[in-house]
Structure 1
Amino acid sequence: MADTKCLGINNFLYICIFMITFWNYIHTSAENGFTENHSASFLDAVPKKLPAQTVELDLSHNTISELQISDFKYLSKLQILILSHNFIRDLDFSVFQYNEDLEYLDLSHNNLSALSCHLVASLQYLDLSYNNYTAMPICPEFGKMSKLEHLSLSARRIEKSDFSVLAHLQLGFLFLGLEDISEYGKLPVFNTKSLGIALPKNREFSILLDLEVDVTESLTLSNMRDKQVHDLTIFLSNLPKKGRLLNLTLNNIEVSWNTVTTTFQAVWQSTIEYFSIYNLSLLEVTDSLHPSYLPTSLKALTIKGTELIDTEFDQRYVYQTFSDMNIASLTISDSKMLQMLCPPKANKFTYLCFSNNQLTDMVFKDCNNLTRLETLILQKNKLQLLTRVSLMTSLMKSLKVMDVSQNSLRYENSEKCSWGKNLINLNLSTNRLSDSVFRCLPVNIQVLDLQKNQISSIPKDIIELSHLEELNLASNKLTDLPGCGQFRGLRLLNVERNSGFFQSSEFSQSCQNIKRLKAGHNPFTCSCELRQLINLEKQGFVKFVGWPESYVCSSPGVLKGTLLTDFHISEFVCSTTLQVVVFLIIALVLAAAVSFLCFRYDVPWYLKMIWQWTRVKHRVWKKKPEGMIDNVQFHVFISYSERDSDWVKNVLIPNLEKEDGSVRICQHERNFIAGKSIVENIIDCIEKSYKSIFVLSPNFVQSEWCHYELYFAHHRLFNENADGLILLLLESIPSYIIPARYHKLKALMAKRTYLEWPREKSKHGLFWANLKASINIKLPSSEVMEYL
């Protein structure tokens, strides 16, 4: 990023126009059709069967020697064709007659020697440089190419008249490769905004002395030596004071330091505003006349890529040359610079870029003359202590932007930091900083880049950074989304490519102002914790940059590779509160249902009976001797309502019980034992009786005790798996008068055969016979029972 900054305002229109034009075509082709890249593919001919939709075709760095109409006839949508670095000898432009949309054509570095004038009128970019042309490859048809913006040419012979057909064209950029020129006439006044010239290797040709640039705004000169630099100083001194040339770039220069300072002086006194030097080789460095930096039009100086052939010299002299410059912008990068002196007095520096050098954090120590400096770029140096870097800025009252990325910076908690008060944009990426760095930050910071460090979390006890709007924490060791407790104004957060990831509740609660979140390319654990984060995107509260393709589940294994947008989990599974509420509701419903059923079917009554029966059985079991035989003493126990007692005593018992004692009947009035509870007596009589007769009538169902007796007898039936119940229907019982809790009686009457007392006397004999047959069993004698 800093390299872009260093080139930014100082880069000339030559580079800008070329790159912008080129990338515009690339993007257009990507959007509207196919891109076919066959560069460096060992091709000796244009491939056959290319897609008809091809918009961009790159065939550079191959061994193609010939082009035919059939090669491109079916590529009607072709816009960009790159054929540089091949062996093409002859070319008739009619091969492109079917490519009416062709706009970009690069034929540089081939073996072309003659030019066909059947040019393509639609071309905007044409590069014919570095071929075998003797004369400039220009023909009258060039004057009709009204759309042409970029033209690159080279030849061994040049005449002023060669360019006459270009006079009516308004080119954006014209490049002339004149390295191998052997015959030279004179250059005309070029009607182009940007002009690039590769100067002749033969230093006898004074191209620059003949150069006129009345309408040219940007000039790039390559392959300069001391002789050409001398011509350049003369050229600059002859520039009109109100001329348009504002940008000058020198590329691939081998000169002495004295020549460089002479060039500085010439540029300083000219109308040039932006001066750049690329790939500078210093043959020797000696003390020379120090440039006189008078008021100047120069605004920015860029020097990128310096090689020192002579390394034994006093570098302070060189540094002083630059520190004394009273200009707004200075860039010296990729130059192995060890130090930079503080300006001797206050100057105009607002932009300084010293990227990719060998500066230490002692640079500009105690420097109080950079009061206007707004941007300082020190990336790719040898800075180590963050504290010293902060102290460096404390005297830079106007400093707003600082880039110290790609160094070896570290910070210890005990160190005190002191940043410039106006610093609002700080790049600390690609260093060795840990969590403690948040205790050493400018209080007014707005944009902070901490990517590619060793940060695992944000400490709670840091100063409040209320102005922070953008925070980049990508490629660190975070395992969770950080909260915004100390920077609640945060609007953009970048946490891409960290160690692990699931959503933090603290983030949702404290980061209310975040509008954009970059969290892609993280190992997301797709669980309940992540659900709230996904909802933020779905509800539109936060824009997720790169959504959804950059957000993929990494665990659990069954969900690995699933896009977060396709990950779904219910609210119930993730909400403990909801689970508790649902459980309580279900419990309440069940309780209500159970309560209703209990009262509907008189369950409490049955529970009470079970409890009574259990207590009695327990007491009997405790008193019963071990190994005692079954104690059946009666043939039958009779249960009846007191209101039916006359029939029982006068009819039923006399007909069953004989004087010979063959049938013994248990009746509560004579067999209940005094001192025992009624329930105990009922259970005791039922268990001592072989069978139980229940005299059913409307009176029976209205008796509570009759119901007890029926319940215990029925329980014994199931307990012993015996048929011990005899239902005797004395009178008809309408079902509507049977209480709800008598559902067992209803069930028994529905399933079992019962004896009905006949009103006709003629049927009484059969009734008694059936009844006696049902209780016909031989019991032990009374004496035996008494003995037992």
Structure 2
Amino acid sequence: MLLRFCNEPRYLEGVMGPLSNIYVFVCVFTFMLCNNSQPTVENEFIANYSSSLLTNVPKNIPVHTQVLDLSHNRISGLSILEFISLSKLQVLNLSHNLIMELDFSVFIYNQDLEYLDLSHNNILKVYCQTLAYLRHLDLSFNKFTALPICQEFGNMFRLEYLGLSATMMRRSDFRYIIHLQLHTVFLTLEDFTLYEPQSLTALNTRSLHIVFAANQNFSFSLLYDGMSTSKNLSIVNLRYTLSYKDFPFPPLTLLKKIKTTALMLDTVDLQWAIILQIFLLIWYSPMEHLTVRNLTFQGPLGELTEYEFLPLFDSLEQIISLDGSMKVLTLEHVRNKVYYFNQEIVYRQFSEMNIASLTIYDAYMPHMLCPSRTSSFQYLNFSHNALTDELFQNCGTLTDLKLLILQRNKFESLSKVSFMTSRMKSLKYLDMSNNLLSHDAPDVQCQWSKSLSELDLSSNQLTESVFECVPVNIKKLDLQNNQITSVPKGMAELKSLKELNLASNRLADLPGCGGFTSLEFLNIEMNLILTPSADFFQSCPRVRELQAGQNPFKCSCELQDFIRLERQSGGKLFGWPSAYVCEYPEDLRGTQLKDFHLTELACNTTLLLVTALLLTLVLVAVVAFLCIYLDVPWYVRMTWQWTQTKRRAWHHHPEEQERVLQFHAFISYSERDSLWVKNELIPNLEKGEGCVQLCQHERNFVPGKSIVENIINCIEKSYKSIFVLSPNFVQSEWCHYELYFAHHKLFSENSNSLILILLEPIPPYIIPARYHKLKALMAKRTYLEWPKERSKHALFWANLRAAISINLPMADGNSCGEMH
């Protein structure tokens, strides 16, 4: 701990007032120091050696250091040589060490030193020296017997904060600093043994903070003198175990001397009678703010009739109803050790108070009475108690109440809560969070205060029926952490609603704004929204901010419109993009929505169908074109005919499938080239030595069979197939059939049965596209070209005979001559 006020802000609230610039400066630097517990140099101006097990001040501290933290070590002594080089030092923290003696002359060369913390050491003796620039000096939680205020302290005119400790206190202890205008004096009085009355009144300070020993009876003279000393008074550990009859009641003359306007009592353990006595003193004083924390009271409880104040009034109620200066009363963490007492006495005393603000927090309070007359309460906070639906029913005296906080109680019926507020004509804000509220009776009408503009119903058990019981004029509604699954469309219109919080419910989609025409802010985080509606901002044109993060978004096509909506919203999505992450599908979990993209084609069904249809049409057109260009139907038809012919031949003459070849070659030619075939080819191959038996359609086709079947049979019964190529050939349909079937045999039997004779040159451009097989054959196979010169004919016929040379088994003794 480098600075008590930074680490314990409760000492500052309400009592200490605003700190001066030096305290703010120190708190900022202290926070920076506390972030690092190792001995490091943060930069050239800040050096942090906290919690480093040091026994001496380090020798290597940078000379430019302005903030030095040496707290929580084992340093037992200081010397001038350790600080003489640190001329720029402004803040020095030596708290929580083992220093026993302090000589202020150690810091005589540190002329810029403004903050010095030596609290929580074992200092017994001080050797004084004026440190003119010092603003903050803390010597609290040490071992001093008397207050260590030297004459030199009187010369520290800039001193604003002074922390001291002692076991005895006399009026003369403050004589040297009476003239100083101090902002805060902090006194730790552990093991306290002596207090001289009116000692504290010698101080001139705005805020006085006293920490008394937790196991000792408190000196109430300190309390009374403290109230006469400073404007802000804070006392920790107010304990008194003796009988209240021995309690030193304050004199009536004290009322005229009280200066304190803000009093904070922390850790109070007193009898109820003493508490009331102190309270009555405070009530009739100039006190405006009273805060009591960690209050424990014990009996007896009852009407006080013997105390000094009461003879001046008819009753206790008369006292607390007076128009005093008290404005704010805060009781926090109240416990009692009384097992039986009339609670109505306590409730009545609080309910009749004539103050503007009352807080009773964490007191196990089960009830509170309605004031018997028109109350001045403007602020009531009964949080963390045991209040039920019976609170303030039919109560018409809280007409000035503006803020009512009832969170963490045991309210169950929302309709009863509405009736509770119906007569609170000035109520603006109601907090009913963290209760057990539900609204399961839709036939029960709700009646809210017409002035209510802010309502907090978070952390209850409300469902969508809550919208049937909402104030019509509400401007800000908090329904966070309930069980709402939808926002009904037929609900009453909330035309004034500007802020709606539906976070942590069970909503599956963004609500529309049909009933929220003025809605500006919507929080729907942490619901069950998979694919939020993309038309939200169209239906809610006035919404300036939408908080929709932390939902289990399903990254699919439906979410694309919402992502596009974010780009068009102009930054209206709060928390974008970090709070908007894909939850489904599994492979996209953790992906931010801004990084999720799908193509328009993948998400637009109409476009997908049109695209698929167009692609299909294009594919069909391409296939049709290719079929026409490559004459695919022709090939299909030929393949079908060849298959059918083979099938019929197998079924009708299966024995023929095993017959041997009957011809050397089958001749395919155009009728326009028949003269050359009959006059040149056939005579030259079938005469003379090496007789070649040829199959010609005119003499070898079997009558009664189809042409295709005859072609197939002749090709299959021939060893070779001779094609006489010419421009006439490529224009013949039947030549094309014969070439196709011969080519089919070439591949099916893996034979070399084709012989091409080029009778006349064929220009490539006259070959039809469907004759691609012919083009391929002419490009890949060697063909015999018919020579025009007669001298070369003999060589041509010799080559052709050699190409078809084969010995055929002669059926029935037939010879070449017999085949003619």
Bin of the TM-score, shorter chain as denominator length: 0.7 to 0.9
Q: Which residue does 2:42 correspond to in 1?
A: none
**Deviation of the 1:133 alpha carbon:** 2.8
Q: Matched residue of 2:369: which SS?
A: coil
* Maintained 8 Å contact 2:218/2:239: no
User: Does 2:290 align with 1:275?
Assistant: yes
**How far does residue 64 in structure 1 lie from its aligned partner after superposition?**
5.7
State how far apart, in whole Å, the 1-side matches of 2:103 and 2:546 are: 54
Displacement, 1:236?
3.5
Rounded to whole Å, the distance in 2 between the matches of 1:618 and 1:19 is 113
**Deviation string, structure 1 residues 411-457 (Cα, Å, up to 9, x no partner):** 5466847262554444444445567666655555554555555x484
CA deviation after TM superposition for structure 1 residue 688, in Å: 3.8
Match of residue 744, structure 1, among 765, 773, 778? 773
**Alpha carbons of structure 1 residues 33 and 767: separation in structure 2 relative to 1, 3 Å:** farther
Aligned partners of 2:200 and 2:222 also within 8 Å = no
Equivalent residue in structure 2 for 1:711, among 712, 728, 740 = 740
Say which SS state the counterpart of residue 506 (structure 1) adopts. Answer: coil
- Residue 646 of structure 1: how far off its partner (Å): 1.7
Tell me how far apart the structure 2 counterparts of residues 775 and 301 of structure 1 sit (CA, whole Å): 127
Q: Are the counterparts in 2 of residues 129 and 152 from structure 1 also a CA contact under 8 Å? A: yes
* Kept after mapping to 2: 8 A contact 1:59/1:82: yes
2:124 corresponds to 1:113: yes
Kindly provide the amino acid, as one letter, of the partner of residue 162 in structure 1: F
Structure 1 26/632 Cα, relative in aligned 2: closer, same or farther at 3 Å?
farther
Summarize the Cα distance change of 1:772–1:206 in structure 2 as closer, same or farther, 3 Å threshold.
Answer: closer
Say which of 641, 647, 653 aligns to 2:676: 647
Q: How does 1:176-215 map to 2 (within 5 A)?
A: 176-177=187-188, 180-183=193-196, 186-187=199-200, 191-197=204-210, 203=219, 205=221, 208=224, 212=228
Contact kept in structure 1, 2:184 and 2:206, CA below 8 Å = yes
Q: Does 1:90 align with 2:89?
A: no
Q: Secondary structure at the match of 2:682?
A: helix
Q: Distance in 1 between matches of 2:171 and 2:413?
A: 61
* Amino acid across the alignment from 2:302: T
| Cα contact 2:289–2:326 (8 A) shared by 1 | yes
Q: Does 2:515 correspond to 1:485?
A: no
2:408 paired residue among 380, 389, 393? 380
Q: Which runs of 5+ in 2 are unaligned?
A: 1-8, 40-48, 305-314, 815-820
Amino acid paired to 1:690: Y
- Is 2:149–2:176's contact at 8 Å kept on the other side of the alignment? no
Cα contact 1:524–1:553 (8 A) shared by 2: yes
Partner residue, 1:236: 255
RMSD over aligned Cα atoms: 5.0
Q: Is the 8 A contact 1:430 1:450 kept in 2?
A: yes
Give yes or no for contact 1:694–1:727 (8 Å, CA) kept in 2: yes
The answer to whether residue 730 in structure 2 is matched with residue 701 in structure 1 is yes
In 2 relative to 1, CA 26–49 (structure 1 residues): closer, same or farther, beyond 3 Å?
Answer: farther
Farther off after superposition, 156-165 or 642-651 = 156-165
Q: Quote the residue 1:36 is aligned against.
A: 37
Question: Whole-Å Cα distance in 2 between the matches of residues 781 and 618 of structure 1?
Answer: 27
3-state SS of paired residue (1:656) = helix
Name 1:351's counterpart in structure 2: 379
Q: Name the counterpart of 1:505.
A: 531
SS at structure 1 position matched to 2:36: strand
> Does the 8 Å CA contact 1:14/1:173 hold for their aligned counterparts?
no
Amino acid corresponding to residue 491 of structure 1 in structure 2: F
- CA offset at residue 287 of structure 1? 1.8
Residue 401 of structure 1, aligned match among 429, 432, 436: 429
Q: What letter matches 1:235 in structure 2?
A: L
Q: 1:14 to 1:209 in 2, by over 3 A?
A: closer
Shift of 1:683: 3.5
Cα distance in 2 for residues equivalent to 1:484 and 1:20: 49
Q: Matches of 1:554 and 1:73 in 2, distance apart?
A: 63
> What is the aligned counterpart of 2:143 among 106, 112, 132?
132
Whether the aligned pair in 2 keeps the contact of 1:386 and 1:411 (CA below 8 Å) is: yes
Q: Distance in 2 between matches of 1:50 and 1:547?
A: 48
Tell me what 1:157 maps to: 169
For residues 9 and 34 of structure 1, what CA distance do their matches in structure 2 show?
21
- Please say if 1:167 is aligned against 2:207: no
1:348 Cα shift?
2.6
The residue that corresponds to 1:367 in the other structure is 395
Residue identity matched to 2:233: L
- Checking the alignment, whether the CA contact within 8 Å between 1:493 and 1:518 is kept in structure 2 is yes
Q: Secondary structure at the match of 1:295?
A: coil
Residue type of the alignment partner of 1:331: T
- The answer for unaligned runs of 5 or more in structure 1 is 1-7
Q: State how far apart, in whole Å, the 2-side matches of 1:418 and 1:728 are.
A: 109
* 8 Å Cα contact 2:328/2:358 also seen in 1: yes
* Matched-pair contact (CA < 8 Å) for 1:634–1:688: yes
SS at match of 1:758: coil
Taking the aligned partners of 1:25 and 1:708, their CA distance within structure 2 comes to 107
**8 Å contact from structure 1 (residues 224, 250) kept in 2:** no
What CA distance in whole angstroms lies between the structure 1 residues aligned with 2:552 and 2:86?
45
Question: CA shift at 1:672, angstroms?
Answer: 4.5
Give the CA deviation at 1:369: 2.7
Q: Structure 1: how far apart are the matches of 2:38 and 2:21?
A: 20
Question: What code does the residue aligned with 2:234 have?
Answer: T
2:298 paired with 1:286: no
Change (3 A) 1:543 1:626: farther
Does 2:304 match 1:303? no
Deviations 1:628-652 (A, max 9, x none): 4247544322222232222122211
Distance 1:74 1:338 in 2: 65
CA deviation vs aligned residue, 1:489-516 (integer Å, no higher than 9, x gap) = 36352635x8xx7x62225443674735
Q: Within the alignment, does 1:249 sit opposite 2:264 as a pair?
A: yes
Matching of residue 13 in structure 1 with residue 14 in structure 2: yes
Question: What amino acid sits opposite 2:232 in the alignment?
Answer: S
Matching residue of 2:46? none
Alignment of 1:450-599 (within 5 A): 455=483, 457-458=485-486, 463=491, 467=497, 469-471=499-501, 473-474=503-504, 482-485=509-512, 489=519, 491-493=521-523, 495=525, 504-510=530-536, 513=543, 515=545, 517=547, 519=549, 541-545=571-575, 548=578, 564=592, 571=599, 575=603, 577=605, 594=623, 597-598=626-627
CA-CA distance at 1:727 after TM superposition? 0.5
1:748 offset after TM fit, Å? 0.9
The C-alpha deviation readout for 1:689-736, integer Å capped at 9, x for no partner, is 332211111222233332332222212211221112110011122333
2:206 alignment partner, SS class: strand
- Contact 2:33–2:69 under 8 Å retained in 1: no
What does residue 668 of structure 1 align with? Answer: 697
- Residues 85-129 of structure 1: per-residue CA shift (max 9 Å, x gap): 554322345666898887655433432233354576676544322
* Counterpart residue identity of residue 382, structure 2: F
Who is 2:5 aligned against? none
Could you say if the C-alpha distance between residues 81 and 743 of structure 1 is closer, same or farther in structure 2, counting changes exceeding 3 Å? farther
Cα pair 1:34 1:56 within 8 Å, conserved: no
The CA distance in 1 between the partners of 2:150 and 2:522, in whole Å, is: 56
Mapped contact 1:10–1:275 kept (Cα < 8 A): no
Corresponding residue of 2:307: none
Amino acid at match of 1:247: A
Match of 1:5 in 2: none
Q: Aligned pair in 2 of structure 1 residues 423, 537: CA closer, same or farther (>3 Å)?
A: same
Q: In structure 1, what is the Cα distance between the partners aligned to 2:811 and 2:773? A: 35
The worse-fitting range, judged by mean Cα deviation, of 365-374 and 664-673 is 664-673
C-alpha change, 1:597 and 1:129, in structure 2 (3 Å) is: same
CA distance change for structure 1 residues 344 and 75 in 2, over 3 Å: closer, same or farther?
farther
Residue-by-residue CA offset, 1:310-366 (whole Å, 9 max, x unaligned): 343211121111112233211112222221011223323221111222222322223
Corresponding residue to 2:754 among 722, 725, 730:
725
Greater displacement, 48-57 / 596-605: 48-57
